[in-house]
Chain A
């Protein structure tokens, strides 16, 4: 006859529970680490999105409309604006890019039409957007996005 030497100890219950606790805490740490990492990546991505996207857009617009000295700085309805003139099918058109009410706006209209700055199409929400003349044939664009990230670039108007 065999006599069982196994007896029920407290440790038989406590050790698996402690191990389960360690497992749960480790899982939680990994999840928090993943969330933090993802948050950082998204924050970095949105940082470059807001400020630089608007600069890239305006730079591309200047390159696109830069013919016969057609891109210049000027005044539009009391706001400083980038004015780009172009001729389509014998008719003159103007594209205005300016900042009003916290938005970079664009307005494409016939040269003779009387329009207000408020009727432009909103491109991007920004805190500040500044266009200034920087030397001969150069414009300096500075954009501060709604989160306060600032980006600057320089664009040349080659058709002088």
Chain B
């Protein structure tokens, strides 16, 4: 009788444990997903932070330039990891993202599109910059 009771309590404990493990597996799967998501979000935020900082610095250089050539030269000098492609775009390679600057001048208006892309080539930040070269020349005079 005693042995029978012990066997019954042992199987009850086993059932309880199996249910607890099932519940634990489901909740830990959800938790791991959340941790991975938060890690990815932190990495994305860091990349965005870097992209914003780089684009702002490039924009400051453009606002301080008197011509498109000077802007291009200053940006390439300021970012050692940058290079110019054949189509005249400046590619700035950063640790976790890339920034592409496309400059053009239309009627003394220097326009630049700064686009930052993440590791998966998806656009994460965009900063259009317009700088009136006429006003700069006047100020310089």
Enumerate chain A interface residues (CB-CB to B < 8 A): 4, 6-8, 12-13, 15-16, 19-20, 22-23, 26-27, 30, 33-34, 37, 40-41, 44-45, 47-48, 52, 55, 59, 134-138, 140, 151-156, 158, 160
Contact = CB atoms under 8 A, between A and B. Distances in A.
A156 B49 contact: no
**Chain B interface size range:** 35 or more
B31 interface: yes
29 contacts: A4-B4, A12-B10, A16-B13, A16-B17, A19-B17, A19-B21, A22-B21, A23-B17, A23-B21, A26-B21, A30-B32, A33-B32, A34-B35, A40-B39, A44-B42, A45-B42, A47-B46, A52-B49, A52-B53, A55-B53, A59-B56, A138-B61, A138-B64, A138-B74, A151-B53, A153-B57, A154-B57, A154-B60, A156-B63
Contacts of B56: 59, 153
Given A7-B3, A8-B3, A12-B10, A158 B57 contact: no
Contacts of A151: 53
A135 B11 contact: no
Interface of B: 3-4, 6-7, 10-11, 13-14, 17-18, 20-21, 24-25, 28, 31-32, 35-36, 38-39, 42-43, 45-46, 49, 53, 56-57, 60-61, 63-64, 74, 78, 139-140
A23 B78 contact: no
Contacts of B46: 44, 47-48
Given A41-B38, A138-B64, A160-B139, 7 more contacts: A6-B4, A12-B11, A37-B35, A44-B42, A52-B53, A137-B64, A156-B61
A13 B32 CA distance: 32
Contacts of A55: 53
Chain A binding surface SS class: helix
A23 B42 contact: no
Contacts, number: 93
Given A16-B14, A44-B46, A34 B24 contact: no
B34 to A, nearest CB: 9
Contacts of B35: 33-34, 37
Nearest to A158: B63
Nearest to A30: B28
Contact of B60 (A7, A19, A138): A138
B14 to A, nearest CB: 5
A95 B110 CA distance: 33
A158 B17 CA distance: 70
Q: What are the 6 A-B residue pairs with the smallest beta carbon separation, nearest first?
A: A156-B60, A37-B35, A154-B57, A156-B64, A137-B64, A41-B42
